[in-house]
Structure 1
Amino acid sequence: MSSRRAITSIVLVPAAIALGCGPEELLNEEVTTSTREPLRGPRFEMPQNGLHPDAARVNVELLSALKATTLSDAGLSALLNQQSLADLFYTGAATSAENLMAEVVSCALDATQAVTPDGYASTWRGRFGLCPGWSDTQPTQDCLDLVSACVLARMNALDREVPISIHVPGDHEPSPRVKLHSFLRDRTRIRSLDRCPISVMYVADTCNWQPHFVGICKQGTPVTLQRNAWMSVRVCNGIHACDVDQEDQSFPDSPPYAGFVDQFTAGDTPITFTCPDDEGAHPRGQPHHRYFSIMVGKVPYGWVEDDDIVGSGLDVTYPADESQVFTYPEGSFYGDIFTGSSDDLGYVCHSDLWRTGGTYLTDRLCANPSDRASCGAIGGRAACRDVCGAGLSAPPEEAYRDCEGGGRVWNGVTVYLNDHRDLSRDPASSAIVCTPHDECTPGAPLPDGCSPVVTSVCAADPYCCSTEWDGLCVSEVLSAANSLMCPVPSCGHALCTEGDALTPGCDVPPLTSSGCVKLLCDQDPYCCGTAWDTTCVSEVQSVCGKTCN
């Protein structure tokens, strides 16, 4: 059997969604025997991540047993006759085995395949087809590695269901359209996507709507789209569906990611609305653009064509393709979760996108980021450029290859995000590097809005974003933005960067009085006695009142 080597856009979907039942099955979903078509078809909803980081470690006995059987009704029925394995299911915990099985099956099998063990309420459906032959024969090691990487990438410690794009080494052709997401990140389904009672033949505010695609526009400007069929249209903020008059959806310390924008009654004439003008997601390097999503209502309820509604122009792209919607490279996940050992089930490395990549991954994967103990079974935290010998491949693949971990080299999966803030609780952890240079280096003017620091500096000194980012702009990183992100020569590294233990008072000047290092180390001696780790970085804000973003 052979594994499927293709770049895959995936939404990490919790078990309840992976069942694939309900009104959404009525959509014109593309289901073929080809792996490539379901993954790249315009009706394929992107994957989401929401699997608990400890799910693999808790179920290590089950994972070890899976590699010796087939992902089929008969194979899993025989396996789950073992009481020790059956007891792992339906425990009520986030790590319960049915959640993990949903991810394994959806990664391994394709959209034509499903598994229902005897005596179990769940049907686990395939989606991505990375190892479709597993339904008939035991998997090769290559298959196990690829499915492992897919499952590892779908873990986060935030209990959020976040859409991602997954790139697998091999031939890649980004999906030409990205279907909007029918569930919010707290796993709430948008009720407007449900079918109305059979007696209701029209499109109501609360039912009979269908998902279309994601677009890009310039914030605050008029957007005009052409209707090529008789239909009602609803416009939503971000890349998710919405209910009518739905308030903006967000998490604490996070920008809005979904919400209602406008709605248009049935017709076939152009529609015009105003592009969202908020702090929501934007394509990398385009801080003044935003995403919007389209829902359509047709009578009678039926087939929705890809070109039923279209738009283009200098400041509008509809529909946008996968590479335009998921523009932030997060890093690479790789390993083997099927070894039977609860140690080093997988590895992760971070891209050069992040200011403090190790801190970001800790926040993304650890239930308690301030705990210095090991965070789950995913090891690593290094920069991908340091551990992936082949580096990041050229477009359109754009995946890391030959990554080191556990004494061997792996080809895992590379994850891209719609917003660099999607999988972080701490704004400082999700801070990214500005281009063409960082805020601590004099040079060309930086684009206003590329980071909170740049926004603050340029609000106080517009010269820095219009003419030149000079030495005065660098000093204003501290004075205007209250950030300690820049290196302090006498300390050896920035207070916002992990590294060697620091010496109390090394940051005076530029700080006055006793400085932040002494204040912080008086409360946490580890930072000046052992190492300046991720906890020390987080304490720059909590103890010193400064920021790192």
Structure 2
Amino acid sequence: MARTMHSHHTMNFQRLANKPGSLHFLFHTLSLGVLLLGAPGCQPELLDEGLETAPGTVERELRVANSLTTRALVLNAISTNPLANDLVAGGGLAPLFHPLTGDSYLQLQLRDPDAQSFMSYLVGCALPAGHTVAWENPLTLTVGSWEGKAGLCPQWEFGAPSETCKNRVSACLLARNNALGRRVELSMRGEDPLQPGLFPLESQTRPVEYDPDLGNARVPSYEACATAQSGVGRDCGWKADFIGRCIPGQPVRLGAGGKAPDQCMTGPALGSWSGARMMLRVCEGIIGCDSGGTRYLGQNQGTCATTNAAVTFTCPASGHFNVMSAPYDSTLTGNVAVAVETGTPAGTSYRLSEKAVFRLREGAYYGNIFDSKALATKVYVDESGRVVGKDQTVQGSVYRKMFSCQAPEWNNEAAYASHRVCAVPGSGANCAARVVGECFNATTPSASKCRKEDGAVVWGDGDFEECYDPEGTQWNQPITVYLYEACGLTPGIPSEYCTWRGTK
């Protein structure tokens, strides 16, 4: 289940038929951003990788990309505008934003680009994949659509959301923001016994196709070739296979029908292929790569005097690799069934699950963004089209009913949280939530902000449940986030602020 969305839909209505251009909004899931897992010795144990879900229960886990900037989340003319906030929370998204018959006040507020971005993420959190909300961009007079992804509140498409819906979507929005707007994939986990089967855990995880170090752009090799090309060195026409784990410094051998290049005489054929002649490329971590990229580990278009592909490479320091495949001739099609050499080294495995890839528990997010009385400030677009309130600085959280607690595995929970949820990292200003402390403290249970470290619906998924705010109100729709690497959402901050050291 590759939860990746990068298609764009443009809807043309009769009265807009002669208007040029179309608006493109990118909404991509959770595959995730790649950097190294931090200093040696800080890698977590491989907990829960082989854990099976108990019969009759379902893990509500979801891989999504988070690149909504904190600034866009906390200072936009929809959610930070009391009137617009009430309108959105009180009706169906599709009729409210319909290009022909939608609400005129909301249409005016969309003159704020951050409001457009906020709505893209709101729809992505609320509606299921395949469902869209059409809207007109008042700045370009083009019509596009926001795409559903997580399906946390399907009823919001045409009707007003329940309080449970608003809380769950609020948690999703908060989980998917970061100060720099880096497109980093994460695993969102929660529990809802009334909606079993909504989000099954990925048993095999695809590599990430978007690179936050390239301005959140797609890795060029994943784009289609503009002209016919052949050979393993081309950086177009590739597709993602799966993610593997290995022992740093040890050799890894894998193939799609070929023998490993260093074992032509004695080695077995690894994997298989069908259709056109196929090639393989291996990259470090979980993001794909180009042939000359820094993550490149090896590639092959035929080995041991055959046209069958196989690669031998040295396991990188991160201990993770991902595989790409492509037809030798870009105009043809084919498929691979990649296999890794069995036996030694024993720590090598392929087609990792979501749980095995996203192992670093970050914390939980909960509350309600859609409470207009709990806004600390106001941003709006006036009748002249001027956006008012963008440049203000609000100490603390703009949303007084949004909360963030951190996993006990962090070295400095409070410092990390400030960089994670505040638009002005380290200052405690323009924050999207109130940072309340550790989600769970086994040594001092009274200091825990959540009553449960692992919800009862699914044992072993490590989600925090029944979380409290400083006033003692219990929130039952938290979302727990798991990361691939500790500092992916907060690059450049002092390492002591984003050191994930495992269970205390």
Could you tell me the TM-score, scaled by structure 2's length?
A: 0.68
Structure 1 residue 79, shift from structure 2 partner? 9.8
Could you give the per-residue CA deviations for residues 397-451 of structure 1, whole angstroms, max 9, x where no partner exists?
321111012552112100001011222322010123356x6xxxxxxxxxxxxxx
Structure 1 residue 215, shift from structure 2 partner? 1.1
Between Structure 1 and Structure 2, which shows a larger proportion of strand residues? 2
Could you give the per-residue CA deviations for residues 161-190 of structure 1, whole angstroms, max 9, x where no partner exists?
111110011467531111111111131211
- Residue 408 and residue 13 in structure 1: after superposition, are their counterparts in 2 closer, same or farther (change >3 A)? farther
Which residue of the partner structure matches residue 408 of structure 1? 473
CA distance in 1, matches of 2:147, 2:405: 29
Letter in 1 for 2:211: L
CA distance in 2, matches of 1:240, 1:328: 17
Which residue of the partner structure matches residue 419 of structure 1? 485
How many residue pairs get matched?
381
Could you give the per-residue CA deviations for residues 27-52 of structure 1, whole angstroms, max 9, x where no partner exists?
xxxxxxxxx99x98xxx9x4121212
Structure 1 residue 124, shift from structure 2 partner? 0.9
| Aligned pairs (5 A) from 1:312-327 | 313=343, 314-327=346-359
Which residue of the partner structure matches residue 159 of structure 2? 137
- Residue 232 and residue 9 in structure 1: after superposition, are their counterparts in 2 closer, same or farther (change >3 A)? closer
Structure 1 residue 9, shift from structure 2 partner? 8.0
CA distance in 1, matches of 2:347, 2:5: 27
CA distance in 2, matches of 1:193, 1:268: 22
Between Structure 1 and Structure 2, which shows a larger proportion of helix residues? 1
> 1:17 pairs with 12, 21, 26, which one?
26
SS at match of 2:177: coil
Structure 1 residue 202, shift from structure 2 partner? 7.2
CA distance in 2, matches of 1:161, 1:66: 26
| Aligned pairs (5 A) from 1:168-187 | 168-170=190-192, 173-185=200-212, 186-187=215-216
RMSD, aligned α-carbons: 3.3
Could you give the per-residue CA deviations for residues 246-303 of structure 1, whole angstroms, max 9, x where no partner exists?
13xxxxxxxxxxx2111111543543222113xx4xxxxxxxxx11111110256677
Question: Is the CA contact (8 Å cut-off) linking 1:339 and 1:345 kept in structure 2?
Answer: yes
| Aligned pairs (5 A) from 1:316-465 | 316-340=348-372, 341-342=374-375, 343-371=399-427, 373-385=428-440, 386-393=448-455, 395-405=459-469, 407-410=472-475, 411-424=477-490, 425-433=493-501
Which residue of the partner structure matches residue 296 of structure 1? 325
SS at match of 1:402: strand
CA distance in 2, matches of 1:143, 1:10: 23
Unaligned regions of 5+ residues in structure 1, if any? 1-7, 21-35, 248-258, 281-289, 438-549
Which residue of the partner structure matches residue 314 of structure 2? 274
Structure 1 residue 121, shift from structure 2 partner? 3.7
- Residue 199 and residue 303 in structure 1: after superposition, are their counterparts in 2 closer, same or farther (change >3 A)? closer
Identity, % of aligned positions? 25
Question: Is the CA contact (8 Å cut-off) linking 1:327 and 1:417 kept in structure 2?
Answer: yes
Which residue of the partner structure matches residue 221 of structure 1? 250
Letter in 2 for 1:222: P
Letter in 2 for 1:400: F
SS at match of 1:367: strand
Question: Is the CA contact (8 Å cut-off) linking 1:211 and 1:295 kept in structure 2?
Answer: yes
1:260 aligned onto 2:296: yes
Unaligned regions of 5+ residues in structure 2, if any? 9-23, 30-56, 257-271, 376-398, 441-447
- Residue 150 and residue 126 in structure 1: after superposition, are their counterparts in 2 closer, same or farther (change >3 A)? same
CA distance in 2, matches of 1:101, 1:354: 32
- Residue 401 and residue 81 in structure 1: after superposition, are their counterparts in 2 closer, same or farther (change >3 A)? same
CA distance in 1, matches of 2:245, 2:312: 14
Could you give the per-residue CA deviations for residues 356-406 of structure 1, whole angstroms, max 9, x where no partner exists?
2111101222233342x4442311331112111123336443211110125
- Residue 426 and residue 79 in structure 1: after superposition, are their counterparts in 2 closer, same or farther (change >3 A)? farther
SS at match of 2:497: coil
CA distance in 2, matches of 1:323, 1:76: 37
- Residue 351 and residue 368 in structure 1: after superposition, are their counterparts in 2 closer, same or farther (change >3 A)? same
Structure 1 residue 104, shift from structure 2 partner? 0.9
Which residue of the partner structure matches residue 508 of structure 1? none
SS at match of 1:149: helix
Question: Is the CA contact (8 Å cut-off) linking 2:66 and 2:183 kept in structure 1?
Answer: yes
Question: Is the CA contact (8 Å cut-off) linking 1:108 and 1:131 kept in structure 2?
Answer: yes
State the structure with bigger RCO (CA 8 A, min sep 6), 1 or 2.
2
Which residue of the partner structure matches residue 280 of structure 2? 233
Question: Is the CA contact (8 Å cut-off) linking 2:358 and 2:483 kept in structure 1?
Answer: yes
Which residue of the partner structure matches residue 190 of structure 1? 219
Could you give the per-residue CA deviations for residues 469-491 of structure 1, whole angstroms, max 9, x where no partner exists?
xxxxxxxxxxxxxxxxxxxxxxx
CA distance in 1, matches of 2:4, 2:300: 31
Structure 1 residue 128, shift from structure 2 partner? 1.4
Structure 1 residue 16, shift from structure 2 partner? 3.6
Which residue of the partner structure matches residue 207 of structure 1? 236
SS at match of 1:358: helix
SS at match of 2:495: coil
